[in-house]
Amino acid sequence: MSIPTIARIDAYPLPYRETNDHDSTRYSCLVRVEDAAGTVGWGEAATIVREAASAAAVLVRGFAGALAGTPASPEAANATMATHAWWHGGAGIASFAVSAIDMALWDLVGRREGTNLAVLLGASSDASLDTIITCHASVEDLGEMTAEMAEWVAHRGASGIKIAFGKTGASRLGVELERDIAFMTALRGALGDDTPIMIDVGPRVGWNVEQAQARIDTLAPLGLAWLEEPLGARNPQGYRQLHDNARGVLIAYGEREWNVTGVHEIVSTGTVDVVGMDPGRIEGVSGFRAAAALCAAAGVKANAHAFAGPLVFASSLALSLASEACSEFELAPTRNELYDFVGAPELHSSVGRLSALTEPGLGIAVDGDRVRAASAASGL
């Protein structure tokens, strides 16, 4: 039986309010792919900033011409896109465009076959994952902030929590060691002794090796489970020093890599224990799947960064359930405005462990008319 060909690809850059980041305005690029049989799939590029969303849309529309009339399968499309993407640098904005198209095609294939993505990827029927709350520190009063964080964990039945330092707001975490210790002490008191705490260091913080090591030395006794991007994206010598003196704290980074090649490079250094990755930027479902397999072979954990929209969330969940490298799944405390475009409220109402969605493809229904209207109104 022949595979239907790609009939149409559309890109929709649009803004949304991120309730989990101090109500900031962020930007995404949603992509719709339709095959000649009329089956439709949707994908998402986790572009975050306005110019990246606009640029990704331009490249998606450029890829559309090359992909028209070719088989509507991720494998065929990725082979075609690879022959064009090097003109755009082979990563970066090109990876955003590839990610959204690849994700949309996996959604389309699942819908065509009547199968959920998790099953397509090989997840067992009873697969489930612990959840960890992922949030931004933004409140000045440490007692108030840590009490709210503990409430999120309890409300969602989460097994742990990851807190981002250096984000918008008045928390001032990551700036003064003493305040970081006070925060960790207060959070540990609010959560109890057994809940894992992870810290994600934003690029605004800008620690050097000595500052990062000071956090490991003082926060490890308080139960710090992992420290994410304390030295940014790439710092082999610095990460070697931290990894050799980690006191049982896992070193996490990799979220800023664009493809499996980048993940291979950082894993090969032997300095990373947890690799963060996002199917909205690491060349889609196919890229994440390959990178997670690489992590599993190396004995390194993979962790989905599912902080953007519902399509990234759904694909990340399916990928994580199907990968032996993934052992937990991040869940933000609230739904951002991108979730208003889909008919899947259960994405943010789950308690405890997460299982696969049940509907075909990504498992969620996108309101295409609403997406088109929002994109047109944005002027992007």
Phi and psi torsions of 262, nearest 5°? -65, -40
Both 107 and 209 in one domain: the answer is no
Parent domain of 192: 119-355
Both 43 and 76 in one domain: the answer is yes
Both 69 and 194 in one domain: the answer is no
Q: Check which CATH number belongs to the domain holding 75 and give it.
A: 3.30.390.10
Task: Indicate whether 361 belongs to any domain.
Answer: no
Both 48 and 95 in one domain: the answer is yes
Both 79 and 128 in one domain: the answer is no
Both 123 and 108 in one domain: the answer is no
Nearest in space to 12 (alpha carbons), one of 48, 51, 58:
58
The answer to whether 42 touches 104, Cβ cutoff 8 Å, is yes
Strands of the sheet with 6-18, listed across from one edge:
6-18, 24-35, 40-48
Both 272 and 338 in one domain: the answer is yes
Q: What pLDDT, on a 0 to 100 scale, did the predictor assign at position 307?
A: 86
Both 60 and 123 in one domain: the answer is no
Residue ranges for the chain with pLDDT beneath 50? none
Nearest in space to 276 (alpha carbons), one of 380, 132, 152, 155:
132
Task: Indicate whether 362 belongs to any domain.
Answer: no
Both 27 and 91 in one domain: the answer is yes
Q: What pLDDT, on a 0 to 100 scale, did the predictor assign at position 164?
A: 97
Within the chain, what is the greatest distance between any pair of CA atoms? 65
Structural domain total, the chain: 2
Length of the chain: 380
Task: Indicate whether 152 belongs to any domain.
Answer: yes
Q: What pLDDT, on a 0 to 100 scale, did the predictor assign at position 88?
A: 85
Both 294 and 159 in one domain: the answer is yes
Task: Indicate whether 246 belongs to any domain.
Answer: yes
Task: Indicate whether 360 belongs to any domain.
Answer: no
Q: What pLDDT, on a 0 to 100 scale, did the predictor assign at position 5?
A: 98
Task: Indicate whether 141 belongs to any domain.
Answer: yes
Q: Check which CATH number belongs to the domain holding 328 and give it.
A: 3.20.20.120
Nearest in space to 80 (alpha carbons), one of 95, 64, 96, 91:
64
Both 96 and 180 in one domain: the answer is no
Task: Indicate whether 325 belongs to any domain.
Answer: yes
Q: What pLDDT, on a 0 to 100 scale, did the predictor assign at position 272?
A: 98
Task: Indicate whether 82 belongs to any domain.
Answer: yes
Q: What pLDDT, on a 0 to 100 scale, did the predictor assign at position 351?
A: 74
Both 90 and 136 in one domain: the answer is no
